[in-house]
Structure 1
Amino acid sequence: MSAENTHGFIQTHIENSIAFLTFSHPAGNSFPSDLLEKLTQELHSLSTNNHVNVIVLQSEGKTFCAGASFDELLSITNLEEGKKFFSGFANVINAMRTCSKIIIGKIQGKAVGGGVGLAAACDFAYAYQDASVKLSEIAIGIGPFVIEPAVSRKIGKTAMTFLTLQPNAWQNADWAVANGLYADVFDSYGELNDVTLALAQKLAGYHPEALAEMKKVFWEGTEHWDTLLYERAAISGKLVLSDFTKKALQEFKK
């Protein structure tokens, strides 16, 4: 099944109890709000699908995810619009957190901002050697507020601080492995595909209820994210209205 529009698509292919959930957008696989909503809905649907035991989250092209849509960020004119937009990422992360299926991330390229949040919200992630990461938000006058809980949960506050305060510096995939974001990194797309599929096949053969119960254990202590992430979205929604951010976004777009 798929949900397509001129701004990209969300597509799911289910085979042998594995759901391959793919997202795509022509602007570096960035996310406008409608695509975030479709991804959230698909995650909720897969969570209750008895024909699915495990999910592989992936994207098309050479970039994994460029984060939020700059065009949409520039179009925000009031606090309500800002909070609603950033709540889109909150919805996706919470859907990944509460999904009853184990989510394997196949990170085939660079991840920026919200893309790092998606990788962190996966239960397990493999990556290609070019899958560098960067949190650029502070440079445009906002901050990675919504994704911070997911990223800090994976890599710790120290590494999160390191990423946040160097918004123009890429950290390579080996750094991401060393800090716990990725489980391993591979030198070829073929190897990345093979190891991801092999893990998904193994997990798909395990007791679904056992996997679902372990997923709850993995995410213990995050129940407050149901409110926290939306409080964080309001902070970003306010900051994105500033003259500093509007000017910085225009410069970044150029």
Structure 2
Amino acid sequence: MSFLQVKTADYVSVINISRPPANALSQGLLQELSNVLEELENNHETRVIVVRGEGRFFCAGADIKEFTTLSQEEDYRQLAKNGQDLLQYVESYPKPIIAAIHGAALGGGLELAMSCHMRFVSETAKLGLPELQLGIIPGFAGTQRLPRYVGVGKACEMMLTSEPISGMEAAKAGLANRAYPEEELFDKTMEFAYKIAKKSPISVAATLQLLKYANAESFYEGMQKEAELFGKVFASNDAKEGVAAFIEKRAPNFKGI
């Protein structure tokens, strides 16, 4: 059974999560997502990916019923490890991935969204990590990613109270890039995605690679890597096309080579 529908047009691929009623992240859905992302990574027709949910929610969390099928500590540890590995793949993906969040992104749904490069939300969406309400904790690196965006204090508040914040609050806190009325969310997200898709895939991938060095601990290493990739990008045909288009006062036509 397929839980994902993928449509590609003008170099933007939309992954639609369809697992009613709440688009919960089952192990089957996570495996399918991994397979789809691997296919799109090698698809030259895909330059940007948008992830959205069908129906009322983006994704309301992990499939809690699956938890009851496990019994050993090692089983739960492996479940968390599998989810962490997939979301680390999402975070390090060489093409931009944008989460378009409406309704709710809770638990594993928010952890998925936080691993994406950008998050656009509806103003009334609910974002949170309510795992402590069930006597458990986030397991797909939510405890590590949430403080990056909202700070340790706010992350502590959100997790310990299990209370979500609105899309508008998420944008103000830095958890979301932009917030829109729900009826405008998808169109605005696609408009943004098409804008990125017109850029050189080579320079986009290099930028995404360099962003992981953007912290105090790896600043010097990041500068060295930036110089290395600067040289590689400038040697590409896309760079030549970009410079020529600028001089000739026309729009560039990047080929990804």
Residue equivalent to 1:160: 155
Report the RMSD for the aligned CA atoms in angstroms: 1.7
Structure 1 moving runs of 4+ over 3 Å: none
Q: TM (normalized to structure 2)?
A: 0.78
Given the alignment, which residue of 114, 119, 141 partners 2:113?
Answer: 119
Given the alignment, which residue of 143, 147, 156 partners 1:148?
Answer: 143
Cα 1:87/1:59, change in 2 over 3 Å: same
CA distance in 2 between counterparts of 1:139 and 1:193 reads: 31
- Answer yes or no: is the 8 Å Cα contact 1:36–1:88 preserved in 2: no
1:21-73 residue CA offsets vs partner (Å, 9 max, x unmatched): 11121241111111111112222222222221111111101111111101101
Given the alignment, which residue of 119, 132, 138 partners 1:138?
Answer: 132
User: SS of the residue aligned with 1:19?
Assistant: strand
Matched residue type, 2:205? A
Residue equivalent to 2:169: 175
Residue equivalent to 1:208: 201
Cα 1:82/1:172, change in 2 over 3 Å: same
User: SS of the residue aligned with 1:206?
Assistant: coil
Query: 1:158 offset after TM fit, Å?
Result: 2.1
- Answer yes or no: is the 8 Å Cα contact 2:124–2:168 preserved in 1: no
Percent identity between matched residues is 26
Q: Specify every segment of 5 or more residues in structure 2 that has no aligned partner in the other structure, as ranges.
A: 216-257
Residue equivalent to 2:249: none
- Answer yes or no: is the 8 Å Cα contact 2:22–2:59 preserved in 1: yes
Query: 1:137 offset after TM fit, Å?
Result: 1.0
CA radius of gyration, larger in: 2
CA distance in 2 between counterparts of 1:95 and 1:27 reads: 27
Given the alignment, which residue of 195, 210, 221 partners 2:188?
Answer: 195
Q: Does 1:90 align with 2:84?
A: yes
Q: TM (normalized to structure 1)?
A: 0.79
1:147-172 residue CA offsets vs partner (Å, 9 max, x unmatched): 222222222222211111111x2311
The structure whose RCO (Cα within 8 Å, separation 6+) is larger is 1
Q: Does 1:80 align with 2:80?
A: no
Residue equivalent to 2:38: 44
- Answer yes or no: is the 8 Å Cα contact 1:44–1:99 preserved in 2: no
